[in-house]
Structure formats: C-alpha cells, structure tokens
C-alpha cells in the first residue's frame, strides 16, 4: 500500500516537473518525451493528451464548462482503458487556512469524482484525497499562480486503486 | 521529552535577616503591575547575577540569570535595569539587601537568587523577590531542585513565580511548544513535528519528514500529541506518546481525518472526517474509541476547539455561505454563529480562561490573528500580514503564538507571538521554517 502510493506520487512529481511553466505543445519538443507521441493507453497520454486536471474559482468546488469537457474526456479514456484506476487529488491555493483548505480540496476531488461517475466510470475505480494547500505546483503569490493551484488532478495507474 | 521528576518547591526559612529602616505603611498596597489593559510603561526590575554557592554552580549562574531576565523582558511588561547600572551586587543570598542602592537605579522590583550543585548531581535554584520602595520581600523565597540539564526549566520557574507575584496572574514561561518544522522549496516542502521550549530553546524533532504532517495539538497533561499525517497515504489523525515516542493511527475509519483536538480532561478527541467530499466533526472516546458524529450538514465543519469546561465547542463552518465561527453544545446540536464581521473566519481556539476565542481572519486579501468574546462581541484584530494563521494560547491566556508566512516564490513560515492586547509582537526563534504551533500548559 505505502510502496505503491509512493510510486504514484513520484511519477506524478516527474510529470509535474516536466510541465512546470511550459505549455504542453512546447514541452513535447523537449526532454525525453521528445517524440510527442504517447501510447494511447499510457498514463502519459492521459496527462498530456486527455488532460489530467481541472481548475476552480476561489473558494469554489463547482465545475466550469471547461472543467466538465476535460472530465468528459477523462471519463471516455477511463472507459476505453478499463485496467486503469484513478486517485483524484484535490488542492487549494495558499489563500486559506489549513484545515478549511483540506476540506475544500476534499470537496473539489469529490466534485470531479462525482462527475466521472455520472459519466459512467465505476466509483470503485476512483479514490479521492485532499492535499489542501500542502502541494502547490505554482509558487508565486498572485492570482495567476493561485488559479493553477486550485485544482483537482486525476492520477491514473494500472490496477485497482 | 523525558519524564521529569517533579520539582521540589520549598519555602526557604522565613526571611531572617534584619531589614534596614522601617517598613512604610501599606497604604500603597503591594507592588503590582496591572496587565488587563496592556502595559504601556513596563515595570523596571533588577536581577544581580545569581550567587554560585559552590564551584560546581559557577558555570550555570550567568545562564540561569540570563533566562530569568529574557523571560521577564520578553513578556513586554517588565524592563530590566541593566547590570552595568547597578550600584551593588549580591554576594551572599542571605545578606541584607541595600534597598537604597536599588532605589537609586529606579528598580521597583529586585530579584536575588542563588544556585548550588548537590552531591547527587542535581542543582537547586532559589530566589527572593523584593519590593524596592516598600523595602520588603514579596512572598517567601522559593527553591527549585532538578537535574542539571533542566536548568532552563528552573530559571523559567523563577520567572513564572516573579511574573505571578507581580501581575496576580499565573505565568507561562515553563512551557513547551510543538510545531511543524519545514524545509525545502515552496513546491516541495518537507514537514516534520518538532518540540521546543516556549522561547525556542531545546528544539528536538519528533518525526521524520517522509510524510506530510500537520497541526499538532498538545494533550492537556503535555504527555502526548495529536496530529495529522499522510504516512498511510491518506490524511489521518495520529497520537504520539512523548515519553515512549510510540505513535499510532487514532482512527482506522475510511476517509480523511484531520483537525484533532483534545478535550480539557484529555479523554475525548474531536476531529474532522471527510467522506465523499463532505467534512463534519466527530468526537471519539480515547479509551474506547467509540465515535459520535456531532455535525451532519453538507457544508464544511472543521477546526473544533473545546471550551475549558468541556461543555461547548467552537468550530468553523461555511454553512452560511462563507467560512464563519459557530458554537455548539459538546454533544452536538444547534449551533449559533458568533462571527459577523466582513471577511472569513477560521481556526477558532477557546482561551484557557474561557472568555475569548482566538481566530484567523481573512479579509481583503490579508490575514489577521484576532480575538473576540464568546458571544462574538468586542472583536479585536491583533496582527495583519500576507498570511497570519493558527493562533495557540499561552497557558495563562495572555499571549497568542501563531505562524506568519511571507509571500512570493520564496515565501516561508515563521512563528510569532503577540499579547492579546496587540502589543509585543515578536518572532519566536526557530532553526528553520516553522508553522502550526501548539502551546502546552504550564509544566509541573
């Protein structure tokens, strides 16, 4: 349990490190993933082609139209790749207190999960966790960074979640 | 924290030496500094170096004296008459005090002390407090004995006794703080639990930094700590026994548990549980583990804190549309909202005196530490910055410690303290970044 989870987090961190500050189109031309082509049934495809995250307004957990379209794509991919399960991480920006942000992140992760379930993904394949404000991906203290930290990230892995 | 032998508190034989002059009439009353409304003019005191009563104590007297001075000056309500202004010193603890020498340097209070090293390796620290203008002792002399390594605690005990006699309130210096020690960049912060004396001395790590740990809370007896850890992968409340350093997950239920807090009798734990995105407050019996759900709303209910009598709970909720403070009976039931100002309110903590709630307020993009009465009246904001959060009360309810995080890509947290009057804001020294302080009660 602990080992497997650590592996998920590390791969997540690598992906995030590769993404930091660079649009996906640019990133595909650099680094080890320079082919720009991913196996359709790979977590990398899910991250870069499907889109692994949705964003939220300040202190909100309602899904925007853009978020719903990303989750539609996630649901379709999960439908085609039944051997994958997912851990949905809810996050908040730094502009809140610690406990409240944990609860808010839980709400955001649940909003994404509920939407995926409504699109036919079996609830048993989806787990949620909240990191509150503990794991920002952007570190500046402006709305530009905060808006990217208010997120629910779907981390897929082969096997049961 | 190893268990300590209790300090012996011995009254020294009645003040035997003759007092020069005649005691003035008691018309002015005993020396007393009134701190209720905040102190604008600190009371001047003098502490000549404590007397080393044997060669073994010589190495300790300056350090002990310095801690006594630092405690009193650090409280913001006392001012030291520096030693280079003193006319005379104290070479023998039992010699008569030359009050005129201390009156001449405008010391209102005089503290004399002595340290001795006993054959069994223990040290004894004794002190007397004098009202210089009345030319009279304030209370009896006291002696504290303990292990040599605990010399700081004995100095804090002396300062607590002085503070208590001069303010009429209990002190807060012989106390500890558990907190989260942080290292690394903002987007890969590593956290571990640590413990230290209230003044930042004797820092010791309590956990490694392999998993995120959050918001430790002292038990009322200071022997254990509740905190939230991600070590199983999910946020989960743990209890750590400080004597054995054994820890265990407090609650094995599915879902996330966090925001724990002990009841005043130490038998019950409050915590938040998130399931399916909804967060509510539960209480759990520490002995039996039985769990009672105290709130059941689709909104966020978290950050609970008991009243000192254990009969009510203050918590935060966004049931009204934004994060606000509420009070409910300890068994759950109807809650009344107490925060009504503009902005959001979180992290409420009931004062040990029972009369105030400390909180974090977020308003117009700024964070404040504040206090209000338990009916929500007389709100006062004590601090303001980019991010001030998570107040914890000193044992006597006079001081709040909290963390302040700076903004931007190099933003990082440090611990601060402030009097509930809003005065005496200062940083609490820690070796690295620090957040989420929890202040113990007075040690015994």
CATH code, A73: 3.30.1330.60
Interface of A with B in 6-45 (CB under 8 A): 13
Nearest CA in chain B to A136: B187
- The partner residue sitting opposite B186, judged by closest CB among A100, A108, A136, is A136
CB contact under 8 A, B233 and A2: yes
Mean pLDDT for B71-85 is 96
pLDDT at A159: 80
- In the numeric block, the tokens 């991600």 are attached to B230
Question: Residues B340-352: pLDDT tens digits?
Answer: 989 999 999 999 9
Element (H, E) at A66: helix A65-80
Q: Flag whether A24 is in a domain.
A: no
CA distances from B282 to A110, B275, B293, B342 (A): 20, 12, 4, 29
Residue B393 φ/ψ, nearest 5 degrees:
-85, 140
- pLDDT for residue A3 is more than 70: no
The Cα of B22 is separated from the nearest Cα of chain A by a number of Å equal to 60
CA distances from B283 to B206, B300, B324 (A): 26, 16, 21
- pLDDT for residue B63 is more than 80: yes
pLDDT at B38: 59
Mean pLDDT for B73-90 is 95
H-state helical runs in B105-196: 151-167
**How confident is residue A23, by pLDDT bands cut at 50, 70 and 90?**
very low
Mean pLDDT for B389-394 is 98
The Cα of B423 is separated from the nearest Cα of chain A by a number of Å equal to 24
- In the numeric block, the tokens 């549309």 are attached to B321
CB contact under 8 A, B215 and A99: yes
Partners of A106 on chain B (C-beta within 8 Å) are: 256, 274, 277-279
- The partner residue sitting opposite B360, judged by closest CB among A97, A130, A139, is A97
Mean pLDDT for B178-203 is 98
Lowest mean pLDDT, pick from B30-34, B104-108, B146-150, B391-395: B30-34
Q: How far is CA A19 from the centre of its chain?
A: 13
Total of domains in chain A: 1
Domain hosting A71: range is 38-158
CB contact under 8 A, A136 and B214: no
Pairing of strands B278-285, B380-381: unpaired
The Cα of A105 is separated from the nearest Cα of chain B by a number of Å equal to 8
Contact B344, B323 (CB under 8 A): yes
pLDDT at B10: 43
Mean pLDDT for A6-13 is 37
Largest alpha-carbon pair distance within chain B? 77
Structure-model confidence comparison of residues B290 and B281, the more confident one: B281
Contact A32, A14 (CB under 8 A): no
- The partner residue sitting opposite A130, judged by closest CB among B232, B256, B436, is B256
**How confident is residue B28, by pLDDT bands cut at 50, 70 and 90?**
low
Mean pLDDT for A78-82 is 97
Assign a CATH topology to domain B8-167.
Answer: Rossmann fold (3.40.50)
Domain B177-439 belongs in CATH node 2.120.10.30: yes
| DSSP assignment of B258-272 | EEEEE-TTSSEEEEE
Where do the domains of chain B lie?
A: 8-167, 177-439
- The partner residue sitting opposite A100, judged by closest CB among B185, B232, B346, is B346
Q: Which of B187, B317, B405 is most worth mutating to test chain A (most A CB atoms within 10 A of its CB)?
A: B187
pLDDT at B171: 97
Element (H, E) at A13: helix A2-19
Residue B52 in tokens: 């080393």
Half-sphere exposure of B180 (CA within 13 A, CB side): 27
Lowest mean pLDDT, pick from A7-11, B61-65, B379-383: A7-11
Paired with B224 in beta bridges are B241
Contact B259, B315 (CB under 8 A): no
- pLDDT for residue A1 is more than 70: no
Nearest CA in chain B to A109: B277
CB contact under 8 A, B215 and A138: no
Scored b (16 or more CB within 10 A) or e, B211-249 reads bbbbbbbbbbebbbbbbbbbbebbbbbbbbebeeeebee
Partners of B314 on chain A (C-beta within 8 Å) are: none
**How confident is residue B35, by pLDDT bands cut at 50, 70 and 90?**
low
Paired with B366 in beta bridges are B363
Structure-model confidence comparison of residues B252 and B85, the more confident one: B85
Question: Residues B221-233: pLDDT tens digits?
Answer: 999 999 999 999 9
Mean pLDDT for B396-415 is 97
Mean pLDDT for B60-70 is 97
Burial tier of B17 (Cβ tally within 10 Å: 0-12, 13-18, 19+): exposed
Paired with B114 in beta bridges are B51, B126
CA distances from B409 to A55, B248, B376, B415 (A): 21, 35, 36, 19
SS3 A43: helix
**Chain pair A-B, CB pairs under 8 angstroms:** 112
Sign of the four-CA dihedral B363, B366, B372, B377: negative
Interface of A with B in 47-86 (CB under 8 A): 59, 61
CA distances from A5 to A78, B218, B232, B351 (A): 20, 30, 9, 40
Q: Flag whether A23 is in a domain.
A: no
Residue B328 φ/ψ, nearest 5 degrees:
-135, 165
DSSP character at residue B385: B
ipTM: 0.91
- pLDDT for residue B26 is more than 50: no
Burial tier of A148 (Cβ tally within 10 Å: 0-12, 13-18, 19+): middle
Partners of B214 on chain A (C-beta within 8 Å) are: 98, 102, 134
Burial tier of B252 (Cβ tally within 10 Å: 0-12, 13-18, 19+): exposed
Contact B169, B396 (CB under 8 A): yes
Sign of the four-CA dihedral A46, A23, A136, B187: positive
Residue A132 in tokens: 């509150």
Q: Which of B169, B199, B164 is nearest to B66 (CA)?
A: B199
The Cα of B243 is separated from the nearest Cα of chain A by a number of Å equal to 27
CB contact under 8 A, B389 and A98: yes
pLDDT at A35: 53
Sign of the four-CA dihedral A56, A60, A66, A69: positive
Q: Which of B338, B371, B336 is nearest to B355 (CA)?
A: B371
- The partner residue sitting opposite B279, judged by closest CB among A96, A103, A111, is A103
Contact B392, B305 (CB under 8 A): no
Percentage of chain B exceeding pLDDT 70: 92
pLDDT at A160: 66
- The partner residue sitting opposite A97, judged by closest CB among B186, B189, B346, is B346
Q: Which of A12, A102, A145 is most worth mutating to test chain B (most B CB atoms within 10 A of its CB)?
A: A102
pLDDT at A80: 97
Q: Flag whether A20 is in a domain.
A: no
- pLDDT for residue B404 is more than 60: yes
Burial tier of B291 (Cβ tally within 10 Å: 0-12, 13-18, 19+): middle
H-state helical runs in B186-274: none
- pLDDT for residue B85 is more than 90: yes
């Amino acid at each position: 349990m602990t080992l497997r989870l650590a592996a998920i987090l590390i791969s997540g961190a690598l992906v995030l490190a590769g993404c930091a500050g660079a649009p996906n189109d640019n990133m595909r031309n650099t680094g080890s993933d320079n082919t720009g082509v991913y196996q359709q049934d790979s977590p990398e495809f899910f991250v870069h082609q499907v889109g692994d995250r949705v964003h939220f307004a300040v202190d909100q957990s309602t899904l925007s139209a853009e978020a719903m379209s990303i989750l539609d794509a996630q649901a379709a991919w999960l439908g085609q790749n039944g051997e994958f399960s997912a851990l949905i991480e809810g996050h908040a920006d730094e502009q809140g207190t610690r406990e409240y942000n944990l609860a808010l992140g839980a709400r955001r992760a649940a909003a994404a999960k509920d939407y995926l379930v409504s699109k036919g993904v079996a609830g048993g394949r989806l787990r949620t966790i909240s990191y509150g404000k503990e794991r920002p991906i952007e570190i500046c203290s402006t709305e530009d960074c905060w808006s990217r930290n208010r997120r629910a990230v779907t981390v897929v892995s082969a096997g049961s979640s | 924290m190893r268990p300590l032998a209790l300090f012996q508190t011995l009254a020294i034989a009645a003040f035997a030496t003759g007092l020069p002059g005649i005691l003035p009439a008691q018309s002015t009353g005993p020396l007393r500094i009134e701190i209720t409304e905040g102190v604008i003019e600190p009371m001047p005191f003098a502490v000549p170096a404590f007397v080393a009563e044997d060669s073994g104590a010589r190495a300790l007297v300056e350090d002990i004296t310095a801690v006594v001075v630092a405690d009193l000056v650090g409280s913001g309500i006392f001012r030291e008459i520096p030693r280079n202004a003193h006319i005379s010193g104290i070479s023998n603890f039992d010699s008569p005090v030359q009050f005129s020498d201390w009156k001449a340097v405008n010391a209102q209070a005089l503290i004399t002390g002595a340290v001795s090293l006993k054959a069994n390796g223990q040290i004894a620290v004794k002190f007397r407090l004098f009202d210089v203008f009345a030319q009279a002792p304030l209370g009896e002399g006291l002696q504290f004995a303990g292990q040599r390594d605990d010399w700081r605690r004995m100095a804090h005990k002396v300062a607590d006794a002085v503070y208590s006699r001069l303010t009429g309130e209990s002190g807060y210096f012989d106390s500890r703080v558990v907190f989260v020690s942080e290292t690394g960049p903002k987007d890969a912060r590593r956290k571990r639990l640590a413990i230290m004396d209230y003044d930042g001395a004797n820092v010791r790590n309590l956990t490694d930094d392999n998993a995120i740990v959050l918001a430790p809370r002292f038990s009322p007896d200071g022997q254990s700590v509740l905190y939230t850890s991600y070590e199983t992968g999910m946020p989960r409340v743990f209890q750590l026994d400080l004597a054995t350093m054994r820890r265990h997950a407090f609650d094995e239920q599915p879902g996330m548990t966090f925001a724990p807090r002990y009841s005043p009798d130490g038998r019950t734990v409050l915590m938040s549980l998130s399931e399916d995105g909804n967060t509510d407050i539960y209480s759990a019996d520490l002995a039996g583990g039985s769990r009672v759900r105290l709130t059941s709303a689709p909104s966020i209910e978290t950050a609970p804190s008991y009243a000192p009598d254990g009969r009510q709970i203050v918590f935060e909720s966004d049931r009204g549309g934004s994060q606000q403070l509420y009070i409910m009976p300890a068994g759950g039931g109807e809650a009344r909202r107490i925060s009504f100002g503009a902005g959001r309110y979180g992290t409420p903590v009931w004062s040990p005196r029972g009369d105030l709630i400390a909180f974090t307020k977020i308003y117009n993009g700024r964070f404040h530490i504040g206090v209000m009465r338990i009916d929500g009246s007389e709100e006062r904001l004590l601090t303001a910055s980019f991010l001030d959060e998570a107040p914890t009360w000193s044992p006597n309810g006079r001081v709040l410690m909290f963390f302040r995080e700076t903004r931007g890509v190099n933003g990082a947290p440090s611990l601060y303290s402030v009097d509930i009057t809003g005065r005496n804001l200062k940083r609490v020294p820690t070796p690295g970044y620090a957040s989420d302080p929890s202040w113990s009660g007075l040690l015994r």
